[in-house]
Structure 1
């Protein structure tokens, strides 16, 4: 989630009070907010050449960051709201998607500095969606509630989505896709370690709830350490180091998006496993406070990490498909082709120039920049797939899964 701020505030509170707390009216309000925050710029259909379409159709597209589970939208049918749903994932040829839960977001959210005491927009959104009191009062419960939405989607549409928890399940899902299925492998994560509610035991609780990736910070400092947009700019706390060690033991993936430079430095110094920055940009092409320096890109990639390039204004500066391709190209020039990936931040309260159904236009722009088909495949999916197959917890292989079902 990376927009300058969620436009709730006093005006929206008044609207909520006016419409009442009935589930139908609250649902309309939640839909209104969703539609206002997750925008695709109006454009004529992109003209895709036959060659670009052929390349796109052979890709296994994967994305490191999508916040669609926050909004409570019906993902089984195509919507005019936001950036993604099952039909649009299928149209875009998405094979692997990491779904993040958003549990807290400060009012007045900005990229420079936010207070930990600021009013929380997500509480307001949860109220509008009629969340149970347990989720309104606990950040861990909010993460698990959003995770449950993906499990519910899997239950209702098992032919279209599979929640994967380990390498074996991912291999099995990829095998199904290779045999003609449109099924999407969904990996669960959360945006910010405040979802632990300050309790180390909640690492196990979130893991048991299916989460396999966790960002350490979001838009404010927390008990794990300083945010890129916080007040302290501090590094990892002792609690943060304890969390990172436990995550590594459990083979959970550490996400450094929104972490302060000091936290990034501390994690790289102590980690034995590669990390990701799930959604970001690079300052060499887009010099905003949200983005990574060339030095950070080199240090993360040197330890086998992934840099997920975002599609919104503060990440890419130019949100056109060409602009996003420029950011990818620059990141590759610094990190190398094996360490750059997609980190869309779709449905993260951002405005983009294309949605999940239109990934072919990005493949086309990369072709124009001289990327080979193999290089396009790497940054648009294969790097993430390789990373997950190497770093998710070990499970049954695809062959073992098939054998156990017979």
Structure 2
């Protein structure tokens, strides 16, 4: 009996140590494997490029940083975004999106809505609240609560929900303050849990942009990477109308071409494609057609150029600059913005601290200072000032 008791003690201690290792080391190991900074940044920026860069208000339309188990306001040695690195990169505005479901075996071609969900496992390893185990809405709210907490703990991070609040951040920056505005968006509106009333709930939690799909078809309609290629469902139509009525900016980054067409025909508000490339520049499944991009641009929409290879067909900063130049030449400078997809399980050649390399690459690509100013943040800030509610 003594031997059995000793074995049970040893097994219990071993299991406890294993669980402790998973909870302590697991989140970091998972993120290090997913969010890498690799690739050629290009030559060091010239003094002239650095001078221009320092004068910019830089804005990015898409980062999934709230998904990961680390503090946004502390410098980290993993991932691609945190507040100190945003300040190093002279960022003014970052849209932070909440990932709530991701199919097992995720790919750009075809994913089943019934596939296993990797976010469930990630949530368990990262010790998310129990409510998040079976509610995508709860996952979105939990990530929003994290951002609220981070903003309350730092004078350099402001959660912005109105154009007036954004103006205050920009005014503070003009006065020399190193402050960054953060906005909240969803990565797919399966975060509604199939309940239209949750649109108002998410709005009240601070969400001002909602994408409709992610990597699988959902109750609103077909995904660019789903199985149906369907357009908006009746639920999806009602959701889009409700979002638009509240002034929520609608993102069609992962939506099927038919969904994009349906949304363009349903509402007059300009759309966002928060992280993408251009099909005519990079012919990959991830990018919707130039014809659809043109319709979005003609309506005053905004196209965020991604920083990863599937979006721009290259692994260096020059490829990002090439995609931006293509977008300007094809759709006009006012439509093009940054949409990095940082911390979205992608490899990028730069993190938030390295943005001067992109400014330099755009100059080397032949953009003039005003074009650089527009795509690096001016267009996004103008769009937000026009489409955020005036006040809360």
Name the TM-score, length of structure 2 as normaliser: 0.94
CA distance in 1, matches of 2:267, 2:24: 43
1:202 aligned to 2:198? Answer: yes
Q: Report the alpha carbon displacement of residue 43 of structure 1 after superposing the two structures with TM.
A: 5.9
Task: Report what 1:111 is aligned to.
Answer: 108
- Report what 2:378 is aligned to: 382
**Cα distance in 2, alignment partners of residues 178 and 19 from structure 1:** 53
CA change 1:73–1:294 in 2 (3 A) is same
Verify the 8 A CA contact 1:277 1:308 in the aligned structure 2.
yes
How many angstroms apart in 1 are the aligned matches of 2:334 and 2:40?
A: 32
Post-superposition offset of 1:292: 2.4
CA distance in 2, matches of 1:365, 1:322: 6
Quick one: structure 1 residues 325 and 222, their matched pair in 2 at CA, closer, same or farther if it must change by over 3 Å? same
The structure 1 residue matched to 2:131, chosen from 131, 134, 137, is 134
TM-score between the two structures when normalised by the length of structure 1: 0.91
Mapped contact 1:248–1:272 kept (Cα < 8 A): no
Select 1:242's aligned residue among 238, 244, 252.
238
Separation (CA, whole Å) in 2 of partners of 1:52 and 1:261: 38
Deviations for 1:160-197, whole angstroms, at most 9, x for unmatched residues? Answer: 10001111111111111111111111010010010000
Deviation at 1:79, TM superposition (A): 1.6
Q: What SS class does the counterpart of residue 327 from structure 1 fall into?
A: helix
2:217 matches 1:221: yes
Which SS does the other structure have where 1:248 is aligned?
A: helix
Sort the Cα spacing of 1:294 and 1:100 in 2 relative to 1 into closer, same or farther, 3 A.
Answer: same
Number of residue pairs matched? 379
Preserved CA contact (<8 Å) 1:297 1:334: no
- Residue from 171, 177, 188 that aligns with 1:175: 171
| Structure 1: 4+ residue segments shifted above 2 A | 17-25, 42-46
CA distance in 2, matches of 1:22, 1:166: 43
Q: 2:32 aligns with which of 35, 59, 67?
A: 35
Q: 1:220-369, aligned counterparts within 5 Å? A: 220-369=216-365
- SS for the counterpart of 1:246 is helix
Q: Does 1:52 align with 2:49?
A: yes
Q: Where does residue 150 of structure 1 map in the other structure?
A: 147
SS, match of residue 48 in structure 1: coil
Q: Secondary structure at the match of 1:347?
A: coil
Q: Aligned Cα RMSD in Å?
A: 1.6
Structure 1: runs of 5 or more not aligned = 1-16, 397-406
Larger Rg: 2
TM-superposition CA deviations, 1:74-123 (whole Å, max 9, x none): 22222220101111000100000000000000000011110011000000
Distance 2:96 2:241 in 1: 23
The 2-side partners of 1:61 and 1:18 are apart by: 48
Distance in 1 (CA, whole Å) between partners of 2:285 and 2:229 is 13
Q: Contact 2:42–2:317 (CA<8 Å) still a contact in 1?
A: no
- Aligned counterpart, 1:8: none
8 A Cα contact 2:39 2:348, kept in partner? no
**Residue deviations 1:319-367 (CA, integer Å, cap 9, x gap):** 2111100000111112100000000000000001111100011111110
Rounded to whole Å, the distance in 2 between the matches of 1:166 and 1:68 is 22
DSSP 3-state at the match of 1:32: helix
1: CA distance, partners of 2:345 / 2:68: 10
- Superposition pairs for residues 94-109 of structure 1, below 5 Å? 94-109=91-106
Asked if 1 retains the 8 angstrom alpha-carbon contact of 2:304 and 2:338, the reply is yes
CA contact (8 A) 1:19 1:25 kept: no
Query: Residues of 2 paired with 1:222 and 1:21: CA distance?
Result: 36
User: How many angstroms apart in 1 are the aligned matches of 2:333 and 2:92?
Assistant: 20
